[in-house]
Chain A
Amino acid sequence: METTLQWLASPGLPHFLIISAMLFGLGLMAVLSKRNVVMVLMGVELILNSANINFIAFSRFTDFSLNGQMIGLFVIIIAAAEAAVALAIILNIYNRFKTINLDEVNLLKG
């Protein structure tokens, strides 16, 4: 009991990792259960952010030092590029199918 309270009172590496695990679970849930393409995109952004928290937590608490922050910076840049291209693809899908429901976009189905 005493050690649990002590563990809770000083946020260290595991605390941040646990937050990121929760965010990863919620992002996975959004990707799996939503059928709106924009919602799926938001879930992907949440997953990318949870991975980024891990990198930066490791950069603070281990001898990874600033390399973790550099990788986090590149993750943010690539996420921005991904979001722009994904939005362009979503606009194309909407124009072609007049819907953004993933289950109705089934042209490639055999």
Chain B
Amino acid sequence: MELTTLLFYLFALVTVSAATKMVLSKNIVHSAFALMFTLIGIAALYVLLYADFLAATQLLVYVGGILILILFGVMLTSQGHSFSSTTVTVNFVPAMVLSVTVAAILIYAFAATEWTLTEPVERTDTVYDLGMLLMGNYILPFIVVGILLLVAIIGAILMSTRMAAVTGKSSNSLR
């Protein structure tokens, strides 16, 4: 058995079991940490798919950015003085049935389809080609995404700071 095969199954196991732990855990902080292991496993799967730049981006943006944002969200919305971090789970059985059905149908479709495969290109690095594409064919989406990020950041800052100003003046009149 080759090393890549072994690594693939190892990281697939880490990813899927951490995601399962994330869904089933009652404690939301535990869920966030399980999500971290899931995202790291996905980054390792990207490396196995010869997408080194995307793996680095995944680590930086997801593990370093979005996960920290989520943890801040958990901390800022913890209720009262006692830090209760449990999550309510409702409709467990219907949700389980639906998601298992969807996953089974998807797995069947993926495994049964005859994909038209091409011989994989052995790349050494993808950064140069990605940069050429980004400044060539993808220049318009690149600019649009830049504007989207700017608008999202301004919107997020406006929403959070205006909320603080409103609650500072009249914290009891809202409710």
- Real binding pair: yes
Report which A residues bind B (CB closer than 8 A).
Answer: 9-19, 21-30, 32-39, 41-43, 45-46, 49, 52-53, 56-57, 59-63, 65-67, 69-70, 72-74, 76-85, 87-92, 94-101, 103
Other-chain contact of B73, A38, A53, A56 (Cβ < 8 Å):
A38
Distance in Å from the Cβ of B137 to the closest Cβ of chain A? 8
Determine the chain B residues whose CB is within 8 A of the CB of A88 once the complex forms.
Answer: 155-157, 159-160
Q: In the complex, which range does the number of interface residues on chain B fall in?
A: 35 or more
Is the CB–CB distance between A32 and B91 below 8 Å? yes
Is the CB–CB distance between B54 and A73 below 8 Å? yes
Complex CA gap A39/B31 in Å reads 8
Distance in Å from the Cβ of B91 to the closest Cβ of chain A? 6
Closest 8 CB pairs of A and B: A25-B103, A81-B152, A21-B106, A32-B95, A33-B95, A17-B110, A88-B159, A29-B99
Is the CB–CB distance between B87 and A61 below 8 Å? no
20 A-B pairs with C-beta separation under 8 A: A11-B48, A13-B115, A17-B110, A32-B99, A33-B92, A34-B88, A35-B87, A37-B77, A38-B70, A38-B77, A56-B49, A59-B51, A60-B120, A76-B57, A80-B65, A83-B70, A85-B159, A88-B159, A91-B163, A95-B166
Mark B101-130 against chain A: 1 for CB-CB distance below 8 A, else 0: 011001100110001111011000010011
Given A62-B116, A69-B130, A85-B156, also A46-B87 (CB < 8 A):
no
Is the CB–CB distance between B121 and A65 below 8 Å? yes
Q: Is the interface of A mostly helix, strand, loop or mixed?
A: helix
Determine the chain B residues whose CB is within 8 A of the CB of A33 once the complex forms.
Answer: 23, 89-92, 95-96
Is the CB–CB distance between B87 and A103 below 8 Å? no
Is the CB–CB distance between A46 and B38 below 8 Å? yes
Complex CA gap A4/B144 in Å reads 46
Is the CB–CB distance between A21 and B145 below 8 Å? no
Is the CB–CB distance between A66 and B175 below 8 Å? no
Is the CB–CB distance between A66 and B69 below 8 Å? no
Determine the chain B residues whose CB is within 8 A of the CB of A95 once the complex forms.
Answer: 163, 166-167, 174
Complex CA gap A91/B162 in Å reads 11
Determine the chain A residues whose CB is within 8 A of the CB of B92 once the complex forms.
Answer: 33
Besides the known contacts A73-B54, A91-B73, 16 further A-B residue pairs in the complex with CB atoms under 8 A apart? A23-B38, A33-B90, A33-B95, A35-B90, A39-B31, A52-B42, A53-B46, A70-B134, A76-B54, A80-B61, A88-B155, A88-B156, A88-B159, A95-B163, A95-B166, A96-B175
